[in-house]
Structure 1
């Protein structure tokens, strides 16, 4: 039986859209739900285009997580995938989905992780630190921001002429290429 995935996303959802496409005909898993904390998030349109059910919760619902958890359990969700989700995952969900919440971070953790380190904030920090490489970290989620066990890291060079925007483009290319296969490998082990 296919594993049922719920993607949590707050923004445009390019990674979520790539995952919906990747798992559309996958024999091991399918994306059955997209959860967002923003009713105007672009990811909701991607879900509609892929005929994937959506749920929008208020930020306050992610404090205890009880209502979110109940909705996931009603839909028999096996794994949660965070794809640009900008809320801390409540301990209730972490306990219920131990080792079954997967996140992607746009840097090579443990560098450039933690609260407030997302999107262009990360790429700007990488550039300002003079790093010669960056990349992505796909990891399990625990109670601390960007702290869980690493499933995979992929790298790309940072050249002297790179800007935070060009770094973001390189990193996004890695995300789109490796996120789906890494999730598939983890859930089929």
Structure 2
């Protein structure tokens, strides 16, 4: 069984969904064992959500803002070693995981939009949804967004895509509506990625293609869409 560390910085809906999928009778039962939850600050509600769902593992609080990146990496490595972790899973996890950790342990990262195009600094929370809406309104073709699972990379949202589920961007769909529509697909996408990892014997599976395509000449449109999104949602 693959030992999993869950990591969250927000409400923890994905972490809860994955935890429940690991229970008897569900799709990940017997494949993954969520050993611990790591939250980035004490106000994160994911801890209460998982406890209410029956999670009995250890809950840790740490981030680079607390300790600095080097010490942060050492703490994560200590936790992973103590818990005998095989994989870590970033579900709404905001800190940049230190490269020292990534070199020792494989990780999976959740993102609510096509990467790497709608990823990077500031692209979290509502901002990616706003960005792809702005982009879709400026190009003369249908656009698909996607829930994404990718391998953790030393830079934000640059890892290889190992699962994605597409969703059409409607011109009259608001940012909150798009975010709400994507959330269940995000949950499904993370489970799909974990199933692929299990199918490959606990190793990283081959990358998959994105449903999104950036055409030549659209680079400035993308940059402006992301700028407007971060301006509108500076805190996600």
Tell me the TM-score normalized by structure 1.
0.93
Q: What corresponds to 1:133 in structure 2?
A: 144
Residue 173 of structure 2 aligns to a residue whose secondary structure is coil
Q: Quote the Cα distance in structure 2 between the aligned partners of 1:93 and 1:3.
A: 18
Distance in 2 of aligned mates of 1:159 and 1:13: 27
Cα deviation code 1:93-145 (max 9, x no counterpart): 11111xx2000111011221111101101111111112632111211012111
DSSP 3-state at the match of 1:107 = coil
1:175 aligns with 2:186: yes
Are the equivalent residues in 2 in contact too, given 1:62–1:88 (CA < 8 A)?
Answer: no
Q: Which is strand-richer, 1 or 2?
A: 1
Contact kept, 8 Å, 1:62 with 1:90, in 2: the verdict is no
Matched, 1:122 2:121: no
Partner residue, 1:14: 13
The residue that corresponds to 2:2 in the other structure is 3
- Do the aligned partners of 2:118 and 2:132 also contact (CA within 8 Å) in 1? yes
Aligned counterparts of 2:43 and 2:156: Cα–Cα separation in 1: 25
Task: For 1:145-156, list aligned pairs within 5 A.
Answer: 145-156=156-167
1:69 match: 77
Indicate if the aligned counterparts of 1:29 and 1:184 stay in contact, CA closer than 8 A.
Answer: no
**Which residue does the alignment assign to 1:32?**
35
The alpha carbon displacement at 1:178 in A equals: 2.3
Q: Determine the structure 2 residue equivalent to 1:56.
A: 61
Instruction: Report if the CA contact (8 A) 1:32-1:53 is conserved.
Output: yes
Structure 2: which 5+ residue stretches go unaligned? 138-142, 201-236
Alpha-carbon offset, residue 73 of structure 1: 0.3
Please tell me whether the aligned partners of residues 34 and 53 of structure 1 are also in contact (alpha carbons under 8 angstroms). yes
CA 138–62 in structure 1, closer or farther in 2 if over 3 Å, else same = farther
What displacement does 1:152 show? Answer: 1.4
Aligned residue in 1 for 2:93: 85
Secondary structure (helix, strand or coil) at the match of 1:151 reads: strand
The CA deviation at 1:61 is: 3.4
Determine helix, strand or coil for the equivalent of 1:144.
Answer: coil
Q: CA deviation at 1:62?
A: 5.9
Long gaps (5+) in structure 1: none
User: Which structure 2 residues correspond to residues 89-108 of structure 1 after superposition, within 5 A?
Assistant: 89-97=97-105, 100-108=106-114
1:140-170, Cα deviation, whole Å (9 max, x unpaired): 0121111111101210011121010111012
Residues 21-43 of structure 1, C-alpha deviations (whole Å, 9 max, x = no match): 01123111111111011112111
Q: Partner of 1:179: helix, strand, or coil?
A: helix
Alpha-carbon distance in 2 for matches of 1:169, 1:142? 27
